Structure formats: structure tokens, C-alpha cells
Amino acid sequence: MSLERVLHYVSLDGAGGVEQQFVEFVQTARRLQDVEHAVVACGRRIHPLIEKRLDQRTPVLFEKYAKGLKLPKWPQVIRRQRQRHIMTATRPDAVVIWNRLRDSLDTLAAAGAKRCIYWERGASWFAGDTVAKRDFLAAVPAVICNSYAAQRMLELRWNYSGEIRVIHNALRPSLLPAIAPEPRTCPDKDRLTLGVVARLESIKGVAVALHALAHLRKHGYRATLRIAGDGPERARLQQLAKTLNIADYVVFEGLVADMAAFYADIDLLVHAALREPFGQIAVEAGAYGVPAVVSAVDGLVEVIEHERTGLCIEPTLSVADYRALGAGDDDLPPQVYDPAQDAIVAPRALDPQTLCRAIMDICSDGARYARMSEAGVDAARQRFVFDDHVRAALGAIASFVDTGRLAPAARS
């Protein structure tokens, strides 16, 4: 294997899923293989939490900044020279572009398309069908996708015809319980605690979870809802809870540092997202023995095994119906992937009453609930192993360097 140096292009401004995944990917990759890694931060800064966790041996350069000064867009030659300087300084065997469909044409030109791999983690859902995005996808020869849904989004929406390898995300080591928990027992209807873990934006469907809670309480469940996360929809959602007369039963916890404690205190994860390229949070909940009820959209059906680790519920409400529930629609993508039809369709939301019935179904059968709890723990420790994920990615990259082709998936 000739892979010695990998250069990663990734935005590290925030501290979300992609950034956290990248940090632990590099840490694990260094432990598993003797390969040098360098990173080009594509924004103006590195988030303090990410900077603290980033391996100190990893050189960091900035794409649009030099010596602390932002490089102007015009004349274009200035930023292009910066890209060429980065390639000369790092001498990568492979360049991995993390989830950046736009603003990557100069990277391709400087590195040469033959050593560039695009890692799709949700950007193909974003609004904005631009010439630059299509030119980039027409030129980049190989793509790693974090789900089959991501592969189909690239193929169906963007007509990508290059080589694709699906490598599912995995549970980051920092999130895996040290000891596998025992299967949970079914919660009593008088003390059911639901959990939502999401950035508070309309795309995550938190409004649907609030309505489902209201329906549960009408059915005699003394249920509560704890919400881990923050974002632009927080005020709207808090007002919605008041309108539904459930504000006393909803806790907006904001950003939660101790997720292990959070999962210990909930009985069921509810993830009513309208778009979810993979669904990392469902793997995380499963690792703590928490079954999940999720939307059957995009990559969520690849994470939650229906009737085994949780339930996947078909979304049926239009965006107009979703707005009528009191939800916003500012960040909704133009299209999502429908795995049942193998087609891209307009976004749809879960019907809160259908979600309510699904929750009641799980909680009314103690043996079923316990089986789902145990299966979720097993999935996190067998299907979504981070070392295996990193080995697969490094193997695909190394194969690309050696042969121009991504290594095929290992036979199970």
C-alpha cells in the first residue's frame, strides 16, 4: 500500500456531527495505520471545542487565510495560488474533501482530480443547484458516501456517474459506553420519558414530537419530553409547547455535555426528522439501550432496523401540513430520498397521531421493548464499530491511490 499522506478539506467552524466525526476519525486513523494526516480548515477559524480535541500532530492550514489575513476573491489567481502552495507544502497522496460540494473546484485544479475523493455526508440534499456544484461532481472521480441514501441522492438528483463506495458512519469511541448496558425494561405509562436529540431547526421535526406528546397525554400517558439541543427554532418550539398546554411536561435542556446521563433518563428516542442522510443519533441512543422511533426517510432506515432496534414510520404530511402544526420551514431541502420508492421526493413530515400510536405500541409490549433495547446495544457494538469504519475508509483511499479505484466493501 502506497498511502502515506492524506490531506483533508473540512469546515471546522462548528462543533457538529461532521466536525466531531472528523476529529475522532483522525485520532483512530493514526492509531490504526502509519499514515500522516493534515487538514485544511475551510472556514475562518476552528471551533474551540474542536481545536481542543484535534490531534496536535495534525498540521492545520487555512484555505482562504494566510498569515491571519483573509485572501480576496478577486483576482481569483490569489486563492488559486494558495491552493497550489498547500499542495506543495503537504504533498498528499490523496485529498479527501469532506461534505463540500461548493467552493472545491480550485482544490480539484490544484491537487489534480486523480487524487481527489469527495466524502458525501449530507451536502447533496442542500438547496442550490449551481453550475459550480455540477462541475465539481462531473470532475471528481470517486465518492465515499455515509449511506446508500447519500449515494442515491447523488445519482438521482445530481446525475453523478463516477465511482461510489458506501461506508456507513459508526459510533464515535467517545460516545460508546465502557460496559455494554443490560437491556432496558419497558417503561410504565405513568412515567414514560421521551427524548429528542437534535439541533433545534425545522428540518429535525421537533414540532411533531411536541404534538405526539400532547396526543400521548390525551391517551392517559403521564409522559414527558426532554430535548437536548439548541438552535434557531427554540423560541418557536417553546411557544408551541405552551399552545399545546404541555409546557410543564417539556424540558428544553440546551446543549448537553453528559449525554450518557441524558440517555439514562429517557425511555425512547423520538427522531421525526424530515431529512437525515444517516442518523448517527439513533446509533448513539441504541448504544445505551434506548429504542428509537424515527422517520422512514433518507438513511434512517439503514440505521434503525424496523421492528428490531426500533420503528421506522413513513412520513405522510406535506410541508403545508407541517407548517400548520406550528413548525417553521426555513431550512427544508428541496428534495429528500424515499427508500421505499427509491426516488427523490418533496420533504414530508410524520403525522403526530401516527407517531403517538407507534410509541404506544412499543411501550405496551414489555418483551418487544426489551428485545429492541438489547438489539440496539448489539448494533452499536457490532454493526457500527468505529475502528471498522476507519479501516474501511483508509482501505478505500489506499486502493484509490494505488489503482484509481475505491476498494470494494468487504464480504460479510
Is the predicted pLDDT of residue 201 greater than 80, yes or no?
A: yes
For residue 90 the three cell numbers come to 503537504
3-class SS at 66? strand
SS3 assignment, position 3: coil
CA distances from residue 99 to 112, 121, 258, 277 in whole angstroms, order as listed: 18, 5, 28, 12
- Residue closest to 328 by CA, chosen among 200, 152, 155, 184: 200
Which pLDDT tens digit goes with each residue over 2-14? 899 999 999 999 9
Assigned C-alpha cell, 411: 464480504
pLDDT at 410 (0 to 100): 57
Mean pLDDT of the residues in the chain: 96
One-character DSSP codes across 110-160? HH-GGGEEEEESSGGGSS---HHHHHHHHH--EEEESSHHHHHHHHHHH--
The domains located in the chain, with CATH, are: 5-170+385-403 (3.40.50.2000), 178-382 (3.40.50.2000)
Structure-block grid coordinates of residue 286: 441504541
pLDDT per residue as tens digits for the range 46-61? 999 999 999 899 999 9
Question: What is the percentage of the chain residues whose pLDDT exceeds 90?
Answer: 93
pTM: 0.95
Identify the helix (H) or strand (E) that includes residue 75: none
